[in-house]
Amino acid sequence: MPDEIERKFMLDKLPDWLQDCSSTPIEQGYLAIDEEVEVRLRRIGERRLLTAKRGHGEVREEVEVGLGEHQFDALWPLTDSQRLRKTRYLVPLDGLKAEVDVFEGELEGLVTAEVEFDSAAQSRDFQPPPWLGDEVTGDSRYANQSLALHGVATD
């Protein structure tokens, strides 16, 4: 399984310029979630994906496969109580990109960003700009599967 190396941040507010960035609506639902593994479905425009992830925090294993429309439609009802909707904005960031997710529905008002890296060293060296807000990498309350199951964390 290839590794996914990313850091996650919680934005205090939407940057004024965010609407100028390209965006895509995303629906995702979870088929299975346990302490180590998650299996999710994701609809991104016309693309339909099945993704399995293992691990927590900054470095995780991830495998993603494309699904046909009928395959996706057969599995989607199984995610009924474990879904979320968001719009993802792609923000260029010093040779990297931030994926800023603006959540909808019950999660409206929540804005997170993830920055993916090619190596753990690149991740360690990254200095986030102030607009990214507080880092929540590894905080399970802000993991998408937790948000789909439990909603926004209250401190």
- Residue 114: give its domain's CATH number: 2.40.320.10
What gap in Å lies between CA 145 and CA 137, rounded to an integer?
Answer: 14
Q: Residue 44's closest CA among 29, 62, 59?
A: 29
Are the beta carbons of 115 and 97 closer than 8 angstroms?
yes
Q: Is residue 155 part of a domain?
A: no
pLDDT at 125: 95
Catalytic-residue membership of 89: no
How remote is the C-alpha of 104 from its chain's centroid? 13
Residue of 30, 89, 131, 142 marked active site:
30
Are the beta carbons of 56 and 145 closer than 8 angstroms?
no
Q: Is residue 82 part of a domain?
A: yes
Percent of the chain with pLDDT over 70: 97
Q: Is residue 15 part of a domain?
A: yes
Q: Is the pLDDT of residue 132 over 70?
A: yes
Q: Is residue 36 part of a domain?
A: yes
For residues 44-63, average pLDDT: 90
- How many helices (H) and strands (E) the chain has is answered by 3, 9
What gap in Å lies between CA 87 and CA 23, rounded to an integer?
Answer: 6
Q: Structurally, how many domains does the chain consist of? A: 1
User: What is the rounded end-to-end Cα distance, in angstroms, of the chain?
Assistant: 35
Question: Residue 152: pLDDT band by 50, 70, 90 thresholds?
Answer: confident
Q: Is residue 132 part of a domain?
A: yes
Question: Residue 1: pLDDT band by 50, 70, 90 thresholds?
Answer: low
Print the domain residue range for 72: 3-150
Q: Is residue 47 part of a domain?
A: yes
Q: Residue 92 corresponds to which tokens in the numbers above?
A: 């260029």
Q: Is the pLDDT of residue 155 over 70?
A: no
**Of the listed ranges 11-15, 73-77, 148-152, the one predicted with least confidence:** 148-152
Q: Which residues pair with 114 in a beta bridge?
A: 8, 99
Quick count: other Cβ atoms within 10 Å of Cβ 148? 22
pLDDT at 34: 87
Q: Residue 22 corresponds to which tokens in the numbers above?
A: 């390209």
**Of the listed ranges 67-71, 133-137, 139-143, the one predicted with least confidence:** 139-143
For residues 116-137, average pLDDT: 95
